[in-house]
């Protein structure tokens, strides 16, 4: 069995893996270091190599991997001082229309403006934060332009694709994962069909 399958099994059986003292100790140290660091950090190589390969990552020039940190749970809001019943204060269940994964991708894109987001995947989480690994591509690099699998991202219609909800996580949030009967009001977008406020 190749090493990528071992990595895949570790993440598939996270609960079983954390019963191992060495594995738990390693991840606790990582999380402690990541919490203190910056919210978007570039990696030399992906930590979850199996997932990165599945989503199109290649160990060649033009590919960049960044670890993006976002908060867990619903949005935060300061509590009102006066003028409302406590039940109408609107403190809980304030959820955004975007998923946390999309926010992680957008933060990585904002940090590396000359790159385009290819995809992302879950990496780790604790009680406060979630971490996603984001695969970015340099559309101006000759290695990417000449790549038959990823060269499509250099075309002009894919510019700023993450901010337009064209990544896999973005399409999921926009209801674009399904086709056919029952999806008539999700295309071309929720807003154009009157399902979201303009």
* Phi, psi dihedrals of residue 153, rounded to the nearest 5°: -70, -15
Does residue 150 contact residue 161 with C-beta atoms inside 8 Å?
A: no
If one counts every other C-beta atom within 10 angstroms of the C-beta of residue 158, the result is 15
Mean pLDDT in residue range 54-64: 94
pTM: 0.85
Q: In 68-166, which ranges are continuous DSSP H helix?
A: 100-111, 142-145
16: left (phi over 0), alpha (psi -120 to 50) or beta: alpha
The confidence score (pLDDT) of residue 17 equals 63
Q: Per the structure block, which two tokens stand in for 28? A: 């606790």
The confidence score (pLDDT) of residue 75 equals 80
Would you identify the CATH topology of the domain 3-173?
A: Ribosomal protein L15e (3.40.1120)
Give how far Cα 67 sits from Cα of 76, 113, 142, 153, Å.
Answer: 23, 15, 25, 21
Mean pLDDT in residue range 9-36: 79
Give how far Cα 141 sits from Cα of 137, 144, 163, Å.
Answer: 9, 5, 21
The confidence score (pLDDT) of residue 157 equals 94
Residue located via tokens 């926010």:
103
Task: For residue 176, give every residue at least 6 positions away whose Cβ sits within 8 Å of its Cβ, in sequence order, or none.
Answer: 186, 187
Cα-Cα end-to-end distance for the chain: 52
Mean pLDDT in residue range 161-186: 90
Does residue 57 contact residue 46 with C-beta atoms inside 8 Å?
A: yes
Summarised one tens digit per residue, pLDDT across range 111-168 is: 999 999 999 999 988 889 999 999 999 999 999 999 999 999 999 999 999 999 999 9
d(Cα 52, Cα 6) in Å, to the nearest integer? 14
d(Cα 48, Cα 4) in Å, to the nearest integer? 9
The confidence score (pLDDT) of residue 26 equals 85
d(Cα 198, Cα 188) in Å, to the nearest integer? 15
Binned at pLDDT 50, 70 and 90, residue 9 comes out as: confident
């Amino acid at each position: 069995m190749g090493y990528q399958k071992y990595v895949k099994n570790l993440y598939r059986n996270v609960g079983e893996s954390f019963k191992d003292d060495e594995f738990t100790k390693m991840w606790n140290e990582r999380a402690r270091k990541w919490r203190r660091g910056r919210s978007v950090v570039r990696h030399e190589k992906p930590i979850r190599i199996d997932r990165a390969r599945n989503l199109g990552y290649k160990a060649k020039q033009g590919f960049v991997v960044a670890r993006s940190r976002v908060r867990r749970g619903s949005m935060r809001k300061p509590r009102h001082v006066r003028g409302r019943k406590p039940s109408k204060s609107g403190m809980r269940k304030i959820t955004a229309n975007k998923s946390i994964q999309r926010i992680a991708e957008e933060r990585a894109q904002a940090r590396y403006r000359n790159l385009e987001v290819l995809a992302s995947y879950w990496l780790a989480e604790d009680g406060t934060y979630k971490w996603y690994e984001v695969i970015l591509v340099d559309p101006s690099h000759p290695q990417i332009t000449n790549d038959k699998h990823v060269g499509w991202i250099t075309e002009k219609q894919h510019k700023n694709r993450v901010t337009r909800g064209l990544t896999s996580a973005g399409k999921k949030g926009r209801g674009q994962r399904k086709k056919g009967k029952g999806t008539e009001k999700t295309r071309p977008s929720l807003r154009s069909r009157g399902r979201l406020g303009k």
